[in-house]
Amino acid sequence: MDAYQRNREAIIRANEEVLDLLRKSAADLETHMPSFAQWTHACENISRYLMDHVVRIAVVGAIKSGKSTLVNALLKTDHLKRGAGVVTSIVTRVRRGSRLRARLFFKTWYEINTDIQQALALFPSNDWRSEEGAFDICREKDRIELKAALDALDISVHVVQDSLNAHGVLLSSYLKGYDRIKSYVTAESAIREFEGEAFADHRRFVADDAMAVYLKDIELEVVGDRPAANIEIADCQGSDSPNPLHLAMIQDYLLKAHLVIYVISSRTGIRQADIRFLSMIKRMGIAANMLFVCNCDFSEHDNMKDLNALVQRMVDELSMIVDQPVLFTLSALYNLFEADAQALSQKDLERLQYWRRFEEQVIFSDTQTAQMLDDLDRKLTRERSALLLQNQLERLDVTTTGLIQWVRLNRDLLRRDAGDAHSMAAKLDKHRSYMQQVQSTVQSTLEGAVRKIDKAIKIEVDRFFDYHTGPVQKMVMEFVRDYRVDLEQYREPLDTSGFTHTLYLVFQDMRQALDGFMAERINPEIMGFISKEQTRLEAELERLIQPYEAMVRDALLKYEDELVQFGAADKTVDWTFKVNSDLTTVKQAAGLSLPPAAATMRYSANIRTEAVLRFGFYALGRALRKALKKSVAAEKSEEMRALKDGIRRMKAETERSIAASFKDYRENLKFQYIQPLASFAGKRLYETLTERFTAYVGDVKSLVEEVAAHSGDKDRLKNALADIEEKLSAVKARLDVLRQDVSSLIQTGASDVKINQ
């Protein structure tokens, strides 16, 4: 077990011990002081933060670069399906669990039908529907009719920009998979689990597009020492997937990830698709949290000189996009085979034995693998997660100190006579009132300040999404308006397939281009803006907290001086506050996430209505021309004019749909993400500032009355208090040691960073 996990578990055990002592103290002393409820709440929060804190690693790269193989190699077992289809629309998340289990999260029937309605936007004709109303895949008639309509489409409609039409693939996949998947899907979100020997069954859902399309998430739980207890590794879709919606899903996970591993195949090197994807990551503002793996095939490289030349070329190319890229060169498949040699087939075992003869390359790969694992450990634990340990350790120390102070105050009151105890309580009461005023002032002014910050960020959000003052909406509208349609290339489909089929083909071409533009250019701009605003929020909160720290510290010192004069407390040496406004922890604790990136790419199916409106007039005009026996050339010319006008109307409706989509995204961002994030962060800072008050702001008069009520049982109470104090002192001594260990862990990580730089 590494140092981080060891310290994390030690803090969790200490926290549980303090919780037990709180319950025991409340029961033995028959107390109902509010302080105990506050301390218990603080310990429960500490437990939740430590247990729920998940560090996420996203493994990304082009199709067939070896992403799934690398994840399997990190797990030392072949859990993930390797070589899955390129249209698989699932991010597969892997965590450590108590047993081998795959959890599949299925879409609801409503979500499935919504997907289909979006894909049917501007479908050539509604003639294939025998009934009015929305499509429902659960109706056999609807499925049969849609299949017939898809089969009747011209082959050119199924291919967009030299690749399969993603929306056509979506429709076909839903129809093909329905009979096999219908028992898993319900009106509510459904989860299906595959455990033990049935675990491998989950792979058929990932590898088969007709089944994968019904899923929205997969989580694998694996046993063993990898990944660590609080680490999640995600195997993402290929970054060069022809479906822009897949790229949007990758972007959603990248924003949650603490580290990105980008995999490049040594067989292909860095391609144009890699450059586009890495540029997108840079615009998202997360390039600093990335390392690279050159996944090499020993059979492809004759010697180390050849391999080293390739690696140096990769580093040079990456340096043009990312500052100081960290690249590790290793064979993921060799590592996987070596780790799980006993489970290999005869064919794979022969491949492993052949690769073992490449001694120089094997040694190099092993060394690079060890260095990569060390770098992962440093980035994920010593640099980031250790700070979480430090924050929660400080909170636990505050609670322990407060409880010790409460125990000592009780013991002091037991030694005094009733008159003396009441006299002390009266003198302390005015200081207690002052501290309560400070606490109230901090709460009200902090809430007001957070509201101002929240309002300022919302204004920036409005400006960013505004057509005139912001960059993104104007960029999208200009893309739509400037999108050029070469009418000549549609002349043949117009002759063979008709007007509505051709208009559908034009729309699919434009939609594919627009979806790609949104995913590659617009979404990264939005995410980069959000990242910048979150950094601004953190900085504003850090600045905001400083004057309150001094106010709280002054109030505590004055009250403590009074207690020391009465001999009821020891002088505290350190009143330093360690206030951290880390929003990642806040988001996890509050369950907050950004609106999905795909939300910006939902276009209204109403586009069809406007786009084909002109065709009604065209059809009437054609009938009149036939009656007057106009020339074929005139009719063809009129068809092209009708198509041109249909495209213009289609563009106008697309612009309106995009404006509405941006408006929805903007409002969701402000009120479902920014506002609760600022509110939760403000509450967290307030708790950090004032939880030290709990030991001192308690009503001493009530405490005196409780002690007086048990005055006949003083000996038992003294013994109970002495026992509790002894145990608390032991816990506090362990916390002091843990504090030194965690501080050393953080310092080691900082030293490693300086060395790497």
Q: Among 691, 709, 727, which residue terminates a domain?
A: 709
Residue 512 — very low, low, confident or very high, per pLDDT cuts 50/70/90?
confident
Q: What is the mean pLDDT of residues 80-102?
A: 76
Q: Check pLDDT > 50 for residue 431.
A: yes
Q: Give how far the C-alpha of residue 1 lies from the chain's centroid of Cα atoms, to the nearest Å.
A: 26
Q: Is residue 477 part of a domain?
A: yes
List phi, psi (to 5°) of 234.
Answer: -115, 125
Contact yes or no for 588/514 (Cβ under 8 A): no
Q: Is residue 199 part of a domain?
A: no
**Predicted confidence (pLDDT) per residue in 225-272, tens digit:** 888 878 899 999 888 877 777 788 889 899 888 899 999 999 889 988
> In the prediction, which pLDDT does 572 show?
61
CA distances from 164 to 89, 150, 672, 737 (A): 15, 13, 36, 61
Q: Check pLDDT > 70 for residue 103.
A: yes
Give the 3-state secondary structure of residue 64: coil
What is the rounded average pLDDT for all residues in the chain?
82
Q: What is the DSSP string of 524-586?
A: HHHHHHHHHHHHHHHHHHHHHHHHHHHHHHHHHHHHHHHHHHTTSSPPPS---------HHHH
d(CA 687, CA 394): 12
> Residues 587, 688: one domain?
yes
Q: Is residue 620 part of a domain?
A: no
> Residues 396, 486: one domain?
no
Contact yes or no for 78/290 (Cβ under 8 A): no
Q: Among 214, 248, 283, which residue terminates a domain?
A: 214
Q: Is residue 209 part of a domain?
A: yes
Question: Structurally, how many domains does the chain consist of?
Answer: 3
Residue 369 in tokens = 């693998």
From edge to edge, which strands make up the β-sheet containing 92-96?
190-195, 101-106, 215-222, 92-96, 231-235, 55-61, 259-265, 290-295, 327-330
Between 495 and 628, residue with greater pLDDT: 495
> In the prediction, which pLDDT does 706 show?
64
> Residues 54, 139: one domain?
no
**Predicted confidence (pLDDT) per residue in 122-149, tens digit:** 676 666 777 777 899 999 999 999 998 8
> Residues 426, 409: one domain?
no
Q: Check pLDDT > 70 for residue 581.
A: no
Residue 116 in tokens = 């289909």
Which range, of 161-170, 173-182, 373-382, averages the lowest pLDDT? 161-170
Share of the chain above pLDDT 70, in %: 84
Between 495 and 627, residue with greater pLDDT: 495
Q: How many residues does the chain have?
A: 757
| C-alpha atoms less than 13 angstroms from C-alpha of 12 in its C-beta half-sphere | 13
> Residues 12, 70: one domain?
yes
Which burial class, exposed, middle or buried, applies to 53 when counting CB atoms under 10 A from its CB (0-12, 13-18, 19+)? middle
> In the prediction, which pLDDT does 634 show?
60
Q: Is residue 374 part of a domain?
A: yes
Q: Is residue 473 part of a domain?
A: yes
Residue 87 — very low, low, confident or very high, per pLDDT cuts 50/70/90?
very low
Residue 355 in tokens = 């690769």
**Predicted confidence (pLDDT) per residue in 712-747, tens digit:** 677 777 788 888 889 989 999 999 898 888 887 777
> Residues 76, 116: one domain?
no
Q: What is the mean pLDDT of residues 65-70?
A: 92
Contact yes or no for 588/53 (Cβ under 8 A): yes
> In the prediction, which pLDDT does 13 show?
93
Q: Check pLDDT > 90 for residue 178.
A: yes
Most confident of 99-113, 242-256, 370-384: 99-113
d(CA 133, CA 661): 23
**Predicted confidence (pLDDT) per residue in 315-332, tens digit:** 999 999 988 899 999 999
* Short-list 339, 333, 329, 334, CA closest to 368: 329
Q: What is the domain-level CATH number for residue 720? A: 3.40.50.300
Which amino acid would we find at residue 442? V
Contact yes or no for 692/398 (Cβ under 8 A): yes
d(CA 323, CA 486): 41
d(CA 198, CA 190): 18
> Residues 666, 689: one domain?
yes
Q: Check pLDDT > 50 for residue 11.
A: yes
Q: Is residue 491 part of a domain?
A: yes
Contact yes or no for 351/721 (Cβ under 8 A): no
Cβ neighbours for 368, distance < 8 A, ≥ 6 positions apart: 328, 329, 330
Give the 3-state secondary structure of residue 266: coil
> Residues 143, 25: one domain?
no
Between 1 and 436, residue with greater pLDDT: 436
Q: Is residue 544 part of a domain?
A: yes
> In the prediction, which pLDDT does 75 show?
92
Contact yes or no for 321/272 (Cβ under 8 A): no
Residue 576 — very low, low, confident or very high, per pLDDT cuts 50/70/90?
low
d(CA 10, CA 382): 16
Q: What is the mean pLDDT of residues 354-368?
A: 93
- Per-residue burial over 164-182, b = 16 or more CB atoms within 10 Å of its CB, e = otherwise: ebbbbbbbbbbbbbbeebe
Bridge partners (DSSP) of residue 195 are 101
Q: Check pLDDT > 50 for residue 630.
A: yes
Between 14 and 646, residue with greater pLDDT: 14
> Residues 267, 283: one domain?
yes
> In the prediction, which pLDDT does 117 show?
83
Which amino acid would we find at residue 124? P
> Residues 595, 689: one domain?
yes
> Residues 154, 31: one domain?
no
> In the prediction, which pLDDT does 691 show?
77
> In the prediction, which pLDDT does 399 show?
86
> In the prediction, which pLDDT does 754 show?
34
> In the prediction, which pLDDT does 753 show?
37
Which burial class, exposed, middle or buried, applies to 459 when counting CB atoms under 10 A from its CB (0-12, 13-18, 19+)? exposed
d(CA 616, CA 639): 12
> In the prediction, which pLDDT does 611 show?
47
* Short-list 506, 521, 494, 647, CA closest to 161: 506
Domain that holds residue 546: 418-609+632-641+653-709
> Residues 508, 591: one domain?
yes
Residue 183 — very low, low, confident or very high, per pLDDT cuts 50/70/90?
very high
pTM, full prediction? 0.81
